[in-house]
Chain A
Amino acid sequence: MIRAIAWREWRALFLSPLAFVILGVAQVILARLFLGHVNLFLMIQGRLTTLPNAPGLTSLVAAPLLGNTGVLLLLITPLATMRLIADERHNKTLTLLYSSPVSLTEIVLGKYLGILGFYAIIILMSLAMPLSLLVGGRLDWGTFACGVVGLVLLASSLAAIGLFMSTLTRYPAVAAMGTFGVVFFLWIVDYAGHGRGAGGAVVGYLSIVNHYEPFLRGLFDTSNVAYYAVLTATCLLFSVRRLETDRLATR
């Protein structure tokens, strides 16, 4: 059941031009950034050979590119997730799901897995570029894999935020703006209070980017995994609760 809903979601995305436009634009931007990183690496390559313990391809090209992909996902998420529920509510197709023998949890998980499938394509396409370096160089697989895990966790939590925002309204644009607000807030939340006492620590902990950077440095910390897991689970749970209230509408 979850699979059928996920499959439909994924198909619907690719039946509209939006998915292709997002993928195309993302790829062009990431390619430009990738070339920039490679260029920088080639420029300082000569000096690096003289240093002991010099950073290599992974930390100078692959990790920054994964970082860029993360930022790009922050910007793509509102557009990619805005239609998930809002559009179905607007077109009154949610009725089909509500009158089928499908639980709300299955609806939410199906939708969530469908959009994750789309994120998987973005991530795979962005990974193709650092992997192309294997033609003439070598990657630090441990660090690289750690960065990819971080990117997947970041993407999962972003998708969950977008899904929840989409359950709140019947207008995709409103969902997109809401998602953009939440995601952007979590991104910049520690700009002001960074490192000032306990309050600063809490604010710093909330930041969605602070938990991503350690992964890129090759640091796999379960507390960072927990942050994304809790964020994702909370948003999915809220989404189910929100769909329940559809049946209880009082207006």
Chain B
Amino acid sequence: MSNPEVLVETDAVSRFYGPNAAVSDMSFVIRRGEVLGFLGPNGAGKTTTMQMLSGNLAPSSGRVLIGGFDMRASPEKAKAHLGYLPEYPPLYREFTVDEYLDYAAALRRVPRKNRRASRERAKARCGLSTVGGRLTANLSKGFQQRVGLAQAIIHEPDVVILDEPTVGLDPNQIREIRALIRELGQDRAVILSTHILPEVQASCDRVQIIHKGKLVLNEGIDALMSRMESQVLVAAFRKAPEVAAIEALPLVRSVMVEDERRLRIFHEPGADPTDDIARLALERGWGLKEINPEHSSLESIFAELTGESAEAS
């Protein structure tokens, strides 16, 4: 796994709607065997990016390469490497699942004699084996989403692009889809857009955060997790504690008094002074009511990365 093949490459891609830049100057690469999470709040330009990667939207400037082929110069060759599940699964409502998947396989140039096998494999992977004869219009949202996913992987593409794949699914289905994404990511490149942080934690190797059309973060999932690790404890007491005593504890850096009985305690990264504070509170009878690590949320990371307050974004 020294340097696997680059499957997706974007080079300074921008997209304007009138004077507004939906995406500006975005460059990144994705290699085989990677699951890339595309994370951003609603309206950040995620869907626009997905549409450009899938050839549904032409970039105003810059290039998109899929499997080494330029999306503008040789779109058919580029799209042959691509499976795309858009925000709304593109289902023909009057078709059954089997008919629909056969059509999708034909469009992706799966040879006629392999279509049946491809269809059955995609159905088995997406948990659709029992609904082959049903009309797509009558399926629940979760099943429709899975049919959409099945059409994206029916031709075994190198690159799978999924725009918010778990919207509308129940927790069990979400778990299954995440497992499928992991499995797909082993031997191809998967791009996943979402605004849900746990989604990225669960399925991705790498994360890119997009905000107002710009890439503000591009790093491994571990780096993101350590960024999110708490360095703050929030503690509440029944009686006002002695702030100086807490500040004197070895792992504590500083203490901020929110009100008389509620403190925010900043500590060394990687250390946890919870036990010490609890012991102190017990010894001195402050009446510890609660003590919690304050997790930094996606919003606060956005705020940190973009230099805006979480409320404003």
Distance between B217 CB and nearest chain A CB, rounded to angstroms = 27
User: Taking chain B's interface residues, is the majority helix, strand, or loop, or is none over half, making it mixed?
Assistant: loop
List B contacts of A201 (CB < 8 A).
none
Does the CB pair B16–A4 fall under 8 Å?
no
Per-residue CB proximity of A225-251 to B under 8 Å, as 1/0?
000000000000000000000011111
Interface residues of A in 119-174 (CB under 8 A from B): none
Given A1-B107, A96-B151, A100-B79, A247-B92 contact (CB < 8 Å): no
Q: How far is the CA of A101 from the CA of B107 in the complex (A)?
A: 7
- Alpha-carbon separation in the docked complex, A247 to B58 (Å): 5
The reply on B57 being an interface residue by CB < 8 A is: yes
Q: Are B56 and A101 in contact (CB under 8 A)?
A: no
Please give the distance in Å from B202's CB to the nearest CB on chain A.
26
Nearest-neighbour CB distance to chain B for A42, whole angstroms, equals 45
Q: Does A32 contact B (CB under 8 A)?
A: no
Once the chains bind, are B57 and A249 in contact (CB under 8 Å)? yes
Shortest beta-carbon contacts, A-B, top 4: A4-B106, A96-B90, A100-B107, A99-B84
Nearest A residue to B51, CB-CB: A95
A101–B17 touching, CB < 8 Å = no
Would B90 and A93 count as touching, CB distance under 8 A? Answer: yes
Q: Is the CB of B88 within 8 A of A8?
A: no
**Number of B interface residues in the complex (CB < 8 A):** 31
CB distance from B48 to the nearest CB of A (A): 11
Q: Does A97 contact B (CB under 8 A)?
A: yes
- B18 near A250 (CB under 8 angstroms)? yes
Interchain CB contact under 8 A, B90 and A94: yes
User: Which residues on A sit within 8 Å (CB–CB) of B151?
Assistant: 96
Between A and B, 19 residue pairs with Cβ closer than 8 Å are: A8-B103, A12-B92, A12-B94, A16-B94, A92-B90, A95-B86, A95-B90, A96-B104, A98-B56, A99-B56, A99-B79, A99-B82, A99-B84, A101-B79, A101-B80, A102-B76, A102-B107, A103-B75, A103-B76
Q: Is B109 an interface residue (CB 8 A)?
A: yes
Given contacts A8-B92, A96-B151, contact A101 B58 (CB under 8 A): no
Does A91 lie at the interface of the complex (its beta carbon under 8 Å from any beta carbon of B)? yes
CA of A92 to CA of B51, assembled, Å: 13
Tell me, in angstroms, the Cα distance from A78 to B293 when the chains sit together.
Answer: 65
Q: Return chain B residues, CB-CB under 8 Å to A94.
A: 90
User: Does A15 lie at the interface of the complex (its beta carbon under 8 Å from any beta carbon of B)?
Assistant: yes
